[in-house]
């Protein structure tokens, strides 16, 4: 992997804290890098900016392709910045399998929002990480907070497992749905509905208004059958039109009400504290996996192991255990 030119840690730190968008984007690129030297530099930057983080409201937004996420985010984002707030959108794109870059181009899907100086849109390739969530979304979110953004949207691909990861890094989790389509068609699983703090029926406009109202009643009734959340919040079901902007103010008011209630009962900070601990565990797993595959002895042995497994004559479980033992022998002191 080719080494890129990098600034000193202080340049990144000063630039992010000064809300320099060019430096912010380069800092996010830094934390997304898999180069060991970049990772060490990123750790230094993150440690320095950490005291300036935590003041935003973090909102996860998901829904399958076709539900209108980009239109909803653009219109909802405009409402947020009209409230006098600065908005950052971290949109996790499906990755190009050849170049590993973002292929959806969120800045072209959210043209109006991307041109507003009070908004910052950052498309990130999902790579091979869980369900399409960038491995470094947490760091990107904190960098945006340090740069002074008041509201952070994290948009997921909406393919299943990504929602679990995003739920573990946001304050409020919003699920967009469509009326007149069954769960099988939308690819929505019961577990995702259980995780959401609000279920929004989008595209409630034109001839679809009545269907959206019916869907709202059906989902509201269904949610009463789900177990109560530990924070005592009953997930809300609402309708909106991302295209026309109808219903968006009520959604924003609901999110504000949620935040106030969670701060009052102590859940808001307790949840963030648990998320920070989970972040540590996730990063331990990432570092161990990276160290394993970057080990020279493993690199030599794993190709042979793969060929043996493909032949069908060797157990994949047995070979995995052997490779881990080889790795352990490499890192254990004599």
In a domain? residue 213: yes
Question: Which run of H or E residues covers position 87?
Answer: strand 87-93
In a domain? residue 271: no
**For residue range 176-186, what is the model confidence (pLDDT) as tens digits?**
988 875 553 34
Q: Which two tokens stand for residue 316?
A: 């994949």
Residues 106 and 184 in one domain: yes
- Number of domains observed in the structure of the chain: 3
Helices (H) and strands (E) in the chain, counts: 15, 7
Residues 318 and 194 in one domain: no
Residues 175 and 43 in one domain: no
Q: What is the pLDDT of residue 323?
A: 95
Q: What is the pLDDT of residue 179?
A: 86
In a domain? residue 270: no
**For residue range 157-171, what is the model confidence (pLDDT) as tens digits?**
665 566 778 888 999
**For residue range 125-167, what is the model confidence (pLDDT) as tens digits?**
655 554 335 568 899 999 999 999 999 999 886 655 667 788 8
Residues 177 and 318 in one domain: no
In a domain? residue 322: yes
Q: Which two tokens stand for residue 156?
A: 């997921």
Q: What is the pLDDT of residue 275?
A: 93
Residue with token string 């565990």:
281
Domain of 17?
Answer: 1-52
In a domain? residue 273: no
Q: Name the domain boundary from 239, 265, 291.
A: 265
b/e sequence 214-226, b meaning 16+ C-beta within 10 Å: ebbeebeeebeee
Q: What is the pLDDT of residue 130?
A: 47
Mutual orientation of helices 267-294 and 248-264 as an angle, nearest 10°? 90
Residue with token string 């904190």:
142
**Positions in the chain whose pLDDT score sits under 50:** 1-2, 95-106, 130-132, 184-187
Residues 162 and 122 in one domain: yes
Residues 233 and 320 in one domain: no
In a domain? residue 128: yes
């Amino acid at each position: 992997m080719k080494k890129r030119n990098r600034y000193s840690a202080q340049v990144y730190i000063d630039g992010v804290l000064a809300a320099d968008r060019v430096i912010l984007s380069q800092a996010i690129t830094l934390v997304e890098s898999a180069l060991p030297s970049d990772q060490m530099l990123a750790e230094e930057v993150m440690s320095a900016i950490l005291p300036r983080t935590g003041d935003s409201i973090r909102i996860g937004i998901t829904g399958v392709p076709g539900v209108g996420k980009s239109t909803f985010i653009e219109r909802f984002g405009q409402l947020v910045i009209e409230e006098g707030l600065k908005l950052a959108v971290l949109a996790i794109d499906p990755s190009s399998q050849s170049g590993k870059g973002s292929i959806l181009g969120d800045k072209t899907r959210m043209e109006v929002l991307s041109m507003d100086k009070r908004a910052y849109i950052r498309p990130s390739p999902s790579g091979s990480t869980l369900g399409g969530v960038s491995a470094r979304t947490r760091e990107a979110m904190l960098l945006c907070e340090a740069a002074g953004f008041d509201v952070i949207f994290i948009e997921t691909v909406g393919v299943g497992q990504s929602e679990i990861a995003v739920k573990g890094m946001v304050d409020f989790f919003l699920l967009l749905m469509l009326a007149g389509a069954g769960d099988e068609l939308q690819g929505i699983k019961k577990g995702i509905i259980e995780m959401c703090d609000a279920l929004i029926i989008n595209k409630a406009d034109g001839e679809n208004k009545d269907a959206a109202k019916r869907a709202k009643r059906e989902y509201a009734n269904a949610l009463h059958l789900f177990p109560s959340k530990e924070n005592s919040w009953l997930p809300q079901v609402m309708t909106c039109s991302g295209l026309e902007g109808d219903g968006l103010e009520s959604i924003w008011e609901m999110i504000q009400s949620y935040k106030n209630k969670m701060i009052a009962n102590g859940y808001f900070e307790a949840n963030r504290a648990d998320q920070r601990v989970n972040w540590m565990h996730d990063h331990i797993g990432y570092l161990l996996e990276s160290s394993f595959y970057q080990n020279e002895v493993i690199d030599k042995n794993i190709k042979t192991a793969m060929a043996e497994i493909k032949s069908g004559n060797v157990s994949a479980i047995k070979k995995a255990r052997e490779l881990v033992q080889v790795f352990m022998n490499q890192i254990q002191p004599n």
